[in-house]
Chain A
């Protein structure tokens, strides 16, 4: 399965070849990448001669028209948008009841022009035909966001959407990111837990849960330790699900969490968790070293500095204290302890 970079390079080498453009556009369609400039330029070349396009692309040509229309809206290319829209209307328009897919595209065109009322009318029409049409429901949420109503309105709309379409992963993820952007970590964690219910073997949900717990712990002032421990669990799970694949993000997260736990429990009597913490920390460090094994030497050096900062003794991670204050404090504390012992 070729990657996007390879197909893109192939198309750039031969910009007039329709089969190569078709392969690139199909990959973008299936992987739902957002590369609007690329799609607009190459879709324009592909659809310049409609008959040749229909012959080479076959049944895919209408999907390419749809994809190019959306890309033209994104890059604000009015002639391309009009061409695609008229071709689609000629083929699919005029049906009764109107085609739901076409109504969604018409609504998108209205949204791009800033005509929110017309767009909402279209989506209401679609929902009147089919109240469970998730694309129309999603577009309604997008109109709320595009109008600039603010984050709370968007969160309310997304909550309503997830209550209706409970199996829509994109909606849950968007809601989670909106909560995280509003620093409501507990709600974001709830959304990602729903996502893990759908797909327990997805490492990025586990990693994101670890990151959310870590950020939550870092932003609160009390009761950090259980949050850091939960973050450690999720990071470790994401590393386990990754298997042999490298992911510096998950490894860095685990490393930072282990150091944070070590710093949090410092000064107490030795924690029974210490060995596990140290083992997980060294696992994270080894995964990071392996991930950076074959990269540019400067990047590897940056990684080494990070690993050195997080290796024991963790005193290097503490904020720098004034040496005199520290020694004076320790002397005072010792005196107090000695007095206490003498008195008792």
Chain B
């Protein structure tokens, strides 16, 4: 009979009636919890419901370790200045996937230097089948969390240069740099690049190790004073690979 198949001792009345919707709901929740426990015990990534997959798609920017390390190394090298730079990456749906970064300026970019630097960065991106998909900045003051006022216009110029592809503004938050379990990036997207968006980035302290090992980052400010310094910074990728 059914009761012996279930392995549970139920009164015959309960086994005969069909499962009410409420019980069905409970059963699904319990099933997910059990599934999670099973997966965790066997060290598999947890299964997620549909709604979180939609949340992941809403992520405007995802940043990989090389790009994150270069950005933060640049910010750490000039801790008393406001630093700038460009993010290179590929388009992924409505957002961008940032795989490399070209450090820009730490002395304030004026006089057409930003346009020249973006032209160079675009050439570098085209050589790797990417495009200039973002502009990153860090404030000079410890407690200044707002993005600079010229960031939306720079992003608009980059969007025009890339022919309408999505462009983000990444702000390095000085306050969150102190927290090793959190990445320090804030992403601004939308038509004027002033609406906060989600950014996916693994928090990594590789930039601290790189700075201690003496890896220094060459940006356009340094390059425009001495053309022999290479702003593509192959040393950082070498350090991460080692």
Query: Footprint of B on A, CB under 8 Å?
Result: 12, 34, 37, 74, 145-146, 148, 177, 180-181, 183, 208, 210-212, 214-215, 218, 231, 246-249, 252-253, 256-257, 291-292, 294-296, 298-299, 301-303, 305-306, 309
Contact = CB atoms under 8 A, between A and B. Distances in A.
A210 B113 CA distance: 12
Contacts of B2: none
Contacts of A257: 112
B132 to A, nearest CB: 13
A12 B111 contact: no
A211 B224 contact: no
B113 A296 contact: no
A43 to B, nearest CB: 16
Interface stretch (B49-57, B64-72, B115-123): B115-123
A113 to B, nearest CB: 14
Contact of B227 (A214, A248, A253, A301): A248
A309 B119 contact: yes
Given A302-B124, A306-B120, A211 B223 contact: no
Contacts of B91: none
Given A37-B211, A180-B110, A299 B227 contact: yes
B225 A212 contact: no
Contacts of B112: 211, 214-215, 218, 252-253, 256-257
Contacts of A298: 124, 127, 232
B113 to A, nearest CB: 7
Contact of A249 (B108, B123, B211, B225): B225
A248 B225 CA distance: 6
A292 B227 contact: yes
Given A12-B214, A212-B111, A246-B226, 11 more contacts: A74-B79, A146-B142, A208-B110, A210-B111, A211-B113, A215-B112, A218-B112, A247-B225, A249-B225, A256-B116, A298-B124
B176 interface: no
Interface string B116-153: 10011001100100000000000001111000010000
Contacts of A12: 214
Given A291-B227, A302-B120, A253 B111 contact: yes
Contact of A295 (B110, B141, B227): B227
B182 interface: no
Contacts of B116: 252, 256, 306
B80 interface: yes
A296 B230 contact: yes
A207 B141 CA distance: 27
Nearest to A215: B110
B241 interface: no
Contacts of A291: 227
A214 B119 CA distance: 18
B228 A295 contact: yes
Contacts of B123: 301-302, 305
Contacts of B142: 146, 148
29 contacts: A34-B80, A37-B211, A74-B79, A145-B141, A148-B141, A177-B108, A180-B108, A208-B110, A211-B110, A212-B110, A215-B112, A218-B112, A231-B111, A249-B224, A249-B225, A253-B113, A291-B227, A294-B228, A295-B228, A296-B228, A296-B230, A298-B127, A298-B232, A299-B227, A299-B230, A301-B123, A302-B120, A305-B119, A309-B119
Nearest to B111: A211
A145 B141 CA distance: 8
Nearest to A5: B216
6 nearest A-B pairs in the assembled complex, by CB-CB distance:
A211-B111, A249-B224, A256-B112, A214-B111, A215-B110, A302-B120
Residue from B223, B225, B227 whose CB has the most chain A CB atoms within 10 Å: B227
Contacts of B113: 211, 249, 252-253
A6 B230 CA distance: 19
A248 B113 CA distance: 10
Interface string B203-242: 0000000010010000000011111101110000000000
A248 B141 CA distance: 30
Contacts of A295: 227-228
Contact of B223 (A181, A208, A248, A253): A248
Contacts of B144: 148
Contacts of B224: 247-249, 252
A263 to B, nearest CB: 13
